[in-house]
Amino acid sequence: MEFPGDLKYQATHEWVKIEGDIATVGISAHAQDQLGEIVFVELPSVGDSLEKGAVAANVESSKAVGEVVTPFTGEITAVNENLEDEPEVVNSSPYGDGWIFKVKISNASEADGLLDAAGYQATL
């Protein structure tokens, strides 16, 4: 199972890619494997303002539901609408086409608590 080194992670199984003041969020390869075949992703709305730690999205398989928690306080700037039709992309490409949402970082220090790949793997 892959855990790309250029990404940050949360212990709640999200990966985070920080580019400038925008963070892209998805779920780790481990998380998608645990959930099984993803059947639906409930996306937030662009423009929603969320606090760090709030549930931004839900990822459903036919036997379980996983919550996707936002790593940053801020406004949702984009969601992966493609998942509405093809939720299975989260299984096939969790770190690529299976990204879930982008959030505008309002407080960069919130990145301090994020894990690196090795740190995340140690939690599994």
Partner 1 sequence: MDYVPHDEETIRIMLEKIGVENLDDLYADIPNNLKIKTLNLPEGLPESDLLKNLTELSQKNHIYHTSFLGAGSYYHYIPSLVDSIISQSQFFTSYTPYQAEISQGMLQSIYEYQSAISRITEMDVTNASMYDCASALAEAATMAFFITKKRKVLLIEGIHPEYIETVQTYCWGRSIETEIIPLDELDNKITDEIAGVLIQSPNFFGDIEDVNQIANIVHSKSNKCLLIQAMSDPTCLGQLKPPGKSDVDIFVSEGVGMHPSFGGPNLGILSVKKKYMRKMPGRLIGLTKELYGEKEGYVLTLQAREQHIRREKALSNICSNQALIMIASLVYLISLGKTGLKDVAMQNFQKANHVKQALSQISGYKILNTKPTYNEFIVKCPNIDKLIKKCKDENILPPLRLSHYFPNRKDEILICVTEINSKEDIIKFIHIAQEAAQ
Partner 2 sequence: MTRELLIFDKGYNAVKNNFTPEMDIDRVDFDNILPKFLQRNEEINLPDVPEFEIVRHYVNLAKKNYGVDSGIYPLGSCTMKYNPRINEITARLPGFLNIHPLQEENEGAIELIYNLGQQLCEICGMDAFTLNPAAGAQGELTGILIIKKFFEMKGIEKDKIIVPDSAHGTNPATSVMAGFSIIEIKSDENGELPLDQLEFAMKGGDVAGLMLTNPNTVGVFDRNIDKITEIVHKYGGLCYYDGANLNPIMGIVKPGEMGFDIIHLNLHKTFSTPHGGGGPGAGPVGVKKDLIKYLPCPQVIKIEKGLACVENEGSSIGRIRSFWGNFGVLVKAYTYILALGNNGIKRAAQNAVLNANYIRTQIQHKYPIPYNRINMHEFLVDAHLPNGVNSEDVAKGLLDRGIHAPTIYFPLIIHEAMLIEPTETENKRELDKFIKALLEIYEEAEKNPGHLKNGPYNTDIGRLDATLAARRPHLRD
80 in Cβ contact with 13 (< 8 Å): no
Minimal CA–CA distance to 6: which of 93, 70, 96?
A: 96
Binding flag, residue 46, partner 1 (CB under 8 A) = no
In the complex, the smallest distance separating the C-beta of residue 41 from partner 1, rounded to whole angstroms, is: 11
Kindly give, in sequence order, each residue whose CB lies less than 8 Å from that of residue 118, ignoring residues fewer than 6 positions away.
none
> What binding mask, one character per residue, do residues 53-82 give for partner 1 by CB under 8 A, x or -?
-------xxxxxx-----------------
d(CA 54, CA 73): 9
Residue keyed to tokens 């992670």: 9
**What pairs with residue 26 in β-bridges?**
15
88 binds, among partner 1, partner 2, none (CB under 5 to 8 A by kind): partner 2
Nearer to partner 1, 55 or 108 (CB): 55
Residues that bind partner 2 (CB under 8 A): 37, 39-40, 60-63, 87-88
Residues that bind partner 1 (CB under 8 A): 39-40, 42, 60-65
